[in-house]
Amino acid sequence: MKKLFVTVLAAGMTTASFCQKTFILSHQDKKGFFALSAGASLPVGQFASCSPINEKAGMADRGVAFSLSAGYRLVGPVGVMVRGAQYRNALQAHALLNNVYRNETDVWTAKADDWSVNTIMGGPYVSIPMGRFSVDANVLAGQATAVLPNTAINGNFGQVEMAVKTTGAQSTATAYGGGVTVRYRLGRSLSLHMNSDYVRSQFKFDNLTSTAWSSNGRSESSSYSSDRIVSVVSVSAGVSILFGNGNRPF
């Protein structure tokens, strides 16, 4: 009986010690992170505009956002981070018909590819720990690459069928933005997080081509350039791997 009591006591002490160690490590401050996120891409400003008189209207709809990021605190709560992200937003094709004059009996349809924007940005961030929670705020700048979608509209004026196709293009520009992240520690090196980020960039797309065709044999093409402002608010969630502390960098 005495031997059984000693065994149970030893097991209890071992379990308590393990739980205590786990609790301490789960609250130990971490200096760096790697994070993977996915969520919604919400166009704002002219990027979301469908106004037929706005030449810079992006006509973008809600889409998806993916990102990879990494950061490391250098002095106290202040550190540096890098973030690569992709935003894919559908173009609201019906908006292409807003400035097409047509009779009630005419039938027109429109289709378009998606907007695709990739960014690589870096900059300072501040992390404020609050127990198992932490709040990060960042200001970033870098480079963005966007693909202007191809579009096509088809319809008729009375008995005459018509089609207009516009080829998209790719452009690169400076991007800037910022965001806030809330993290919750699950354990020693793993946490869940939610992000809210803003990105803005102004692009100039050159060598765009618009081709119009009609069933009466007429066809013409023209080339032009277009300036577009891409601005997106993304709301996402994901998983972070934490590393580094006061004694060990990893």
Identify the residue whose tokens are 């354990």: 187
pLDDT of 209-241, one tens digit each?
A: 999 988 887 888 889 999 999 999 999 999 999
Q: Give the mean pLDDT of 28-43.
A: 94
**pLDDT for the residue 231:** 97
Identify the residue whose tokens are 């690589």: 120
Q: Which domains does the chain have, with CATH numbers?
A: 31-243 (2.40.160.20)
Supply 110's token pair. 């429109």
Q: Which residues contact 221 (CB under 8 A, 6 or more apart)?
A: 209, 210, 211, 212
**pLDDT for the residue 172:** 98
Q: Give the mean pLDDT of 76-83.
A: 96
Mean pLDDT value across the chain: 87
What is the pTM for the complete model shown?
0.84
**pLDDT for the residue 1:** 55
**pLDDT for the residue 17:** 41
Model confidence at 138, pLDDT cuts 50, 70, 90, reads: very high
Q: Give the mean pLDDT of 152-173.
A: 91
**pLDDT for the residue 59:** 95
**pLDDT for the residue 23:** 41
**pLDDT for the residue 246:** 54
Q: CA 203, 205, 211: angle at the middle one, nearest 5?
A: 150
Single-letter amino acid code for the residue at 99? N
